Structures are given as C-alpha cells and as structure tokens.
C-alpha cells in the first residue's frame, strides 16, 4: 500500500529470465546425466546436451548484459570455465 514500490516491468522480466535460466540449467544437467549413463553414445543425446548448453549460455549472456545474473548461476559458469 503506502511506501510499497510497485515492481517495474524490467524487474518482472529479470525474474522471469532467472527462472528460465534455472529451468534450462536443470534440463542441461539431466541431459548430461542421461548422456553419461547411456552405454552406447547416441548422437541425439549428445545433440540434446549441446542444445541445452547453448540455450544456457545464451540466457546467461543476456542476464549478464542486463546485469541480473545471480550468484548460483555465476558459480555454475565459473566452475564450468575452470574445467576447460
């Protein structure tokens, strides 16, 4: 009511972007686990993992551009870059 600030459209978009990043990150992890657990490596499984990784990287770059990246997402990218 009084003294409360209405969330702006940008803030709502930033929250939606972070939610989407977390969803894609979970899908990427599950694709990696599936790829690791399957004996015969199938090209479709490998492609699915790469697609999810590309989606995550794109969304992460968008979040960085908007200066919205959370600590959890930043730690994920930092740990992945350390392994390269």
Residue ranges of domains in the chain: 9-83
pLDDT by residue (tens digit) across 2-60?
777 777 888 888 889 989 999 999 999 998 898 888 877 678 888 888 999 999 999 98
Answer yes or no: is pLDDT of 70 > 80: no
Could you write out the three-class secondary structure of the chain? CCCCCCCCHHHHHHHHHHHHHHHHHHHHHHHHHHHHHCCCCCHHHHHHHHHHHHHHHHHHHHHHHCCCCCHHHHHHHHHHHHHC
Look up tokens 């990246």; give the residue.
69
Angle between helices 43-65 and 71-83 (to 10 degrees): 130
């Amino acid at each position: 009511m009084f003294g409360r600030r209405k969330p702006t459209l940008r803030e709502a978009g930033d929250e939606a972007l972070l939610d989407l990043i977390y969803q894609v990150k979970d899908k990427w992890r599950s694709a990696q686990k599936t790829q690791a657990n399957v004996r015969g490596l199938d090209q479709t499984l490998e492609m699915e993992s790469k697609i999810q990784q590309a989606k995550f990287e794109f969304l992460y770059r968008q979040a960085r551009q908007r200066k919205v990246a959370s600590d959890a997402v930043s730690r994920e990218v930092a740990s992945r870059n350390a392994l390269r």
